[in-house]
Amino acid sequence: MKKKSKSGTAAARNTATRGAAKRTPATAKARKKAIAAKRTKKPPKKSATTKAATSAVAPVSSGDGKLTFNHAMIYVKDVERGLRFYHDLLGFKLIEDFRYDNRPVYARLRAPGGDGTIALHQAGPGASLVSEGVRLYFEVRELDDFCRKLIQKGFYITQMPRMMPWGWRHAYLNDPDGHEISLYWAGENRMKKSVMQAVRKVAKG
């Protein structure tokens, strides 16, 4: 096997060096261009669809996964008559209603002095509206004055305001469908221990 001469090896090395020298400017230029393009490249814009989808996401419930009271449903024979009582007499504010043949068959109302809501729902034919064991409680500071105004409008109150053994003043009445209602004002006795003391005395007789 013949050995390559030193001159031949040097010549080959010089040829490779010259080739590399010829390629270097082009390679460097391409690399610079790629880096410059990368720096000036702008991030893609969000589409209108993405924005709309983001804004349409429902907020997290304030209940934080816990049970919250929504409203009380009251079944009535005549929703329009129920509205005359809860809306016109008691002052509830109508939130929404659903009509059939231009007559209300469902109505949602909010208490005039808070966020509590009730719903009046048309009862089916022959349905019983007896609600023994269930009573609606509405609180109002000017209890006596409120009851007097109801009487002036022709509404019958089964019990006018009076102090009860547990320390709260109550009045009792029935809505047009016979649902029992208590109008009351707890006042300062709302959280006092004397309330339970009074109850114990009544229980002992």
Q: Specify the CATH number for the domain of residue 87.
A: 3.10.180.10
- Domain range for 113 is 70-123
Angle (CA) 83-86-89 rounded to 5° is 105
Checking DSSP bridges between strand 72-76 and strand 117-122, what pairing results, if any?
parallel
The answer to whether residue 10 is domain-embedded is no
Structure tokens, 201: 């005395």
Domain count, the chain: 2
Instruction: Please give the backbone phi and psi of residue 11, each rounded to the nearest 5 degrees, phi first.
Output: -65, -40
Shared domain check, 142 and 109: no
Shared domain check, 155 and 108: no
The answer to whether residue 99 is domain-embedded is yes
The answer to whether residue 89 is domain-embedded is yes
pTM above 0.95, yes or no: no
Please report, for the domain that includes residue 198, its CATH number: 3.30.720.110
192: left (phi > 0), else alpha (psi -120 to 50), else beta?
beta
Shared domain check, 110 and 163: no
Local confidence pLDDT in tens for the 205 residues of the chain: 545 455 454 544 544 444 444 444 555 555 655 555 545 444 444 333 333 333 233 333 455 789 988 999 999 999 999 999 999 999 999 999 999 999 999 999 999 998 999 999 999 999 999 888 899 999 999 999 999 999 999 999 999 999 998 888 999 999 999 999 999 999 888 876 565 666 677 777 6
Shared domain check, 155 and 97: no
